[in-house]
Amino acid sequence: MKKVSLTGIKPTGSLHIGNYFGAIKPALELSKEYDARYFIADYHALNQVKNPEELERCIREVAAGWLASGLDPEKVIFYRQSSIPEVFELSTMLMAFTSKGLMNRAHAYKAAVQENQDKGIDPDTGVNIGLFTYPILMAADIILFNSDVVPVGKDQVQHIEMAQDIAQSVNAAYKTDVLKIPQARITESVAVVPGLDGRKMSKSYDNAIPLFGPEDQLHKLIMKIVTNSQGVAEPKDPDVSQIFLLYKLFASQEEQNSLAARYREGGMGWGEAKEELFRVVNRELSPLRERFNAIMADREGLDNILARGAEKARPIADTTVKRFRKAAGID
């Protein structure tokens, strides 16, 4: 029997190339070998996005993004989290096995509290319970589908460790393997894609290159990448250049070697390095962008794909919940 790979993306904004290399591409690679279950984490997004039009748009964009990037819904079970009520039932059950202390240690929650403390205001200001219990909902997403591996970026590793902890508590309580213990799977070479300002690319930092934006926007953003003040003539070290880091994601090995040599020789300015970057990025993203636009234009087609995915997912989810309920004495 094939092992299970599962991951989800929170629809809180437009997809960017960090999501593509850190999440979508490695997940699609795994789907060749594993039984893949990939989903849109829309109830996770609800914590952040309270504008219904925006949430709806983000859900459709993330769904279309997966498909445009090559997800085959005949091979991958592809669904919206909100279509699987068993996720929320399992989440409630898992709460009974999750210590508050574990949740206190979650990075996102801790950061929110710290920010308030730094401002000298009540530590709970603006912190909703959805943020606090976020790792439990995520554990339910993962555990429900008997996931073996969870392809994610480095920032999500703590959440997977919490899912392991929680599942282990359940198994320890019933002295049997009720739940599968998942493992994180990180693609080290692209673990963190840098953004326009050199920090981790993230929609929260306003430094992202959107995956499906129009060509002129792509060009404009790439030209905005922050560089140092080295002049055209100066030799440059490709290994410390954000532009080169991004270039490596899109260029062939040959192209990388040849551009690295030009960096080291001197005579190439940052403007030219950016044009080279734009060329390879646009080459890879153009066909994706076209597919994305076509999928976005076909509302009904997209709805049908997601509905069929939910139909395939629910029987699996039901089996896990039933097994847990039985072990727990709630039959």
Among candidate residues 10, 180, 200, 248, the one labeled active-site is 200
Per-residue x/- track, 8-47, ligand ADP (CB under 6 A): -xx-------xx--xx------------------------
Residue 296: CB atoms within 10 A of its CB come to 18
Among candidate residues 75, 119, 220, 322, the one labeled active-site is 119
Q: Is 18 in the site for ligand TRP (CB under 6 A)?
A: no
Q: Is 16 in the site for ligand TRP (CB under 6 A)?
A: no
**Active-site residue flag, 3:** no
Residues 154-173 that bind ligand ADP (CB under 6 A): 155-156
Q: Is 202 in the site for ligand ADP (CB under 6 A)?
A: yes
- The burial of 26, by beta-carbon neighbours within 10 Å (0-12 exposed, 13-18 middle, 19 or more buried), is given as buried
Token pair, residue 39, equals 């989903």
Q: For ligand ADP, which residue of 117, 204, 217, 228 counts as binding (CB under 6 A)?
A: 204
Chain centroid to Cα 75, Å, comes to: 20
Q: What is the CA radius of gyration of the chain?
A: 22
Q: Cα dist. 285→20, 96, 279, 302 in Å? A: 11, 45, 10, 21
Token pair, residue 108, equals 């996102």
Q: Is 133 in the site for ligand ADP (CB under 6 A)?
A: no
Q: For ligand TRP, which residue of 31, 156, 242, 320 counts as binding (CB under 6 A)?
A: 156
**Active-site residue flag, 110:** no
Residue 325: CB atoms within 10 A of its CB come to 15
Chain centroid to Cα 159, Å, comes to: 12
Between 117 and 204, CB nearer to ligand ADP:
204
Q: Is 203 in the site for ligand ADP (CB under 6 A)?
A: yes
Query: Could you tell me the smallest distance in angstroms from the CB atom of residue 150 to ligand TRP?
Result: 5
Strand, helix or coil at 144? helix
Q: Cα dist. 181→27, 142, 171 in Å? A: 19, 9, 9
Cα–Cα nearest to 4, from 235, 182, 256: 182
Between 155 and 318, CB nearer to ligand TRP:
155
Sheet of strand 183-185, all strands in order from the earlier edge strand to the far edge: 77-80, 35-40, 4-9, 149-151, 183-185
Query: Could you tell me the smallest distance in angstroms from the CB atom of residue 42 to ligand ADP?
Result: 12
**Active-site residue flag, 200:** yes
- DSSP state at residue 31: T
Query: Could you tell me the smallest distance in angstroms from the CB atom of residue 27 to ligand ADP?
Result: 9
Could you give the residue numbers annotated as active site?
Answer: 119, 200, 203
* Site residues for ligand TRP per CB under 6 A: 6-10, 41, 44, 138, 141-142, 150, 152, 156, 159
* Site residues for ligand ADP per CB under 6 A: 9-10, 18-19, 22-23, 152-153, 155-156, 192-193, 200-204
